[in-house]
């Protein structure tokens, strides 16, 4: 099972996006765990399969990359702004090669 982590300033603004991503994953039959956490906890999720950063913390990209062992990328701003869970899941799956 793939583990996808979304990170933002406090972990709250991405929670609705997580729900929409979970709905998209269920619809596609893609088995995964999707969670949202504050970016200052990145090191605790070093063994995740992929980490996506909310636009408000994209400046933390290099710092997070140095703390973890997985692909890290900022969430597409348009997909984030429209809370498009399907598009963000597609972004994560592309990084996973799934």
Annotated active-site positions, please? 8
Phi/psi region, residue 83 (left: phi>0; alpha: psi -120 to 50; beta: rest), is: left
pLDDT of residue 11: 64
Residue 64's domain comprises 1-94
Task: Tally the domains of the chain.
Answer: 1
Question: CATH no. for residue 7?
Answer: 3.40.50.2300
Tally: H helices and E strands in the chain: 4, 4
pLDDT at 35 > cutoff 90: yes
What tens digit of pLDDT does each residue of 50-92 get? 999 999 999 999 999 999 999 999 999 999 999 999 999 999 9
């Amino acid at each position: 099972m793939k583990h996808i982590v979304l990170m933002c300033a406090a972990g709250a603004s991405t929670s609705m996006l997580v729900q929409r991503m979970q709905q998209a994953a269920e619809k596609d039959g893609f088995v995964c765990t999707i969670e949202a956490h504050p970016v200052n906890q990145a090191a605790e999720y070093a063994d995740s399969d992929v980490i996506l950063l909310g636009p408000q913390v994209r400046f933390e990209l290099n710092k997070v990359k140095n703390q973890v062992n997985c692909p890290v990328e900022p969430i597409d701003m348009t997909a984030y702004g429209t809370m498009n869970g399907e598009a963000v899941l597609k972004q994560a799956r592309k990084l996973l090669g799934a």
